[in-house]
Amino acid sequence: MSTFVLLPGAGSNSWYWQRVVPLLEDRGHDVVAVDLPYADENADQDDYADLVVAGLGDVRRPLVVVGQSMSAFTAVRVAQRCAVDELVLVAPMIPAPGESPAQWWGNVGHEEAQRAEAVADGRDPDAPLDMRELFFHDVPEDLTEEALTQEEIALSDAAFEPSWDAERWPDVPVRVVAGSRDRLFPLPFLTELSRARVGTEPLVVDSGHLVALARPAELAGILLDPAAHPPGSS
C-alpha cells in the first residue's frame, strides 16, 4: 500500500481532491491532501515544500507526490527534500531548474499557445476571464457551484517565487497527466512541454484543467495502477 500526497493548484485547497481521496482510501492507501498557504505573503514555494515534508512524519512507502497545476513547483521541491518514489504532475506547470512560477508563463510561451487554442476552438481569445468557461466547463454543476461559493483564496506575490534552486530534475520517476480539453494548458502545448522538460509523453484524460473534479475515477486509476500507465504511455 502507498501514501499519496495530493497538492492543490494555485488558489485552491484540499477540497479540490474530494472525489479522488475516497477512491484511493477505499483501496487501502493512505492519503494526505494538503492545504498550501497561497495567500500568505510571508510564505513562498520553498516554504510550501518545507510544510509538506514536515507534515509527512513516518508514512508508508511507496510515497507518491501528486501536484495539480502550479503545485508542480512545490512537488519537485518536496522530491529534493525527502525520498519520493514517484511524482505525478496533473495539468501541470512543468518547471525547469532555475525557474520560478512567475517566469514560467513567458518562458514557455503560454499566452500564445492558449490564444491559438481558443481560436482553433472557435472561442473569443480576447473575452474577459470567465471561471466557468476556463476551468469548470466539464465539471458537474453542483461541484462548480460549491467551488464558486467558497471563500476566494487570493494568491500572494510570494506564491510565484523563488526560482527553483536546482541544476537538474530529481532522480524520481515522473508521470504527466494532461486533459484533452484543457483550456488553460492546451494539450498540444502541454505535450511539447512534457517532452522537452521531462522527456515523456503525457497520459491523456478526457478532461479540462480540473481533472480531479471532472474525471476522478480515471485519475485514480492512473494513480492506483502505475504498471498500466507507465511514464510515456497514453
* Residue 229 resides in a domain: no
* Boundaries of domain holding 83: 3-224
Give tens-digit pLDDT for 123-132. 999 999 899 9
Give tens-digit pLDDT for 27-47. 999 999 999 999 999 999 999
Give tens-digit pLDDT for 86-144. 999 999 999 999 999 999 999 999 999 999 999 999 999 999 989 999 999 999 999 99
* Residue 231 resides in a domain: no
pLDDT of residue 61: 79
Residue 226 pLDDT greater than 90, yes or no:
no
- CA separation, residue 142 to residues 80, 106, 136 (Å): 38, 35, 11
How would residue 67 be classed by pLDDT, with cut points 50, 70 and 90? Answer: very high
pTM value? 0.95
Q: Say how far apart CA 113 and CA 185 lie, in whole Å.
A: 8
How many structural domains comprise the chain?
1
pLDDT of residue 232: 64
- In the block, cell 518536496 appears at 78
Task: Write the CATH number for 218.
Answer: 3.40.50.1820
pLDDT of residue 225: 86
* Residue 233 resides in a domain: no
Average pLDDT over residues 163-173: 96
How would residue 233 be classed by pLDDT, with cut points 50, 70 and 90? Answer: low
- In the block, cell 467551488 appears at 147
Residue 96 is placed in which grid cell? 525547469
How would residue 151 be classed by pLDDT, with cut points 50, 70 and 90? Answer: confident
* Residue 53 resides in a domain: yes
* Residue 79 resides in a domain: yes
Average pLDDT, the chain: 94
Burial of 163 (0-12, 13-18, 19+ CB in 10 A): middle
* Residue 174 resides in a domain: yes
* Residue 234 resides in a domain: no
Percent of the chain whose predicted confidence (pLDDT) is above 90: 88
